Amino acid sequence: MPLNLRVLLDRPRVLIDRAGFSELEFSFAFATAAIVMIITTRFAKRFVARWGNAGTLLRGMVMLLVGAGLLSIGQVFGTPSFWTFLAPVWVMAIVVLTALGWLRYRSPPQT
């Protein structure tokens, strides 16, 4: 199995095995990412209208770096827990939904 696919498939095991979550607790914890996505969809159109194309892209890229940084800091300096693993997932969920909102609500190119 390629390394990147194996890493993705092992992620639940980090919280289940190392952080001591049961499978049900992991499911509820990961469901919080869906809640963040639902909340973000309520605001995506406003974000794009307020920030425009370039501003939405810039903020999305910055948030992507913030999420990666949070995940890195949590993995290096923290122990596997709800906060060190799922807070970065929430940030990434916001990025994904903002990007999808931009694709849907972006202003047409100026000619």
Q: What is the pLDDT of residues 5-28, one digit of tens each?
A: 555 555 566 667 777 778 888 888
Look at 11-15, 91-95, 101-105 and tell me which has the smallest mean pLDDT.
11-15
Q: Give residue 108's pLDDT band: very low, low, confident or very high (50, 70, 90).
A: low
The span from the CA of 93 to the CA of 100, in Å, is 11
Write out pLDDT tens, residues 24-76.
Answer: 888 888 888 888 888 888 887 788 888 887 888 888 888 888 988 988 888 78
Q: What is the largest CA-CA distance in the chain?
A: 57
Q: What pLDDT is attached to residue 3?
A: 46
CB neighbour burial string for 87-98, b if at least 16 within 10 angstroms, e if fewer: bbbbbbbbbbbb
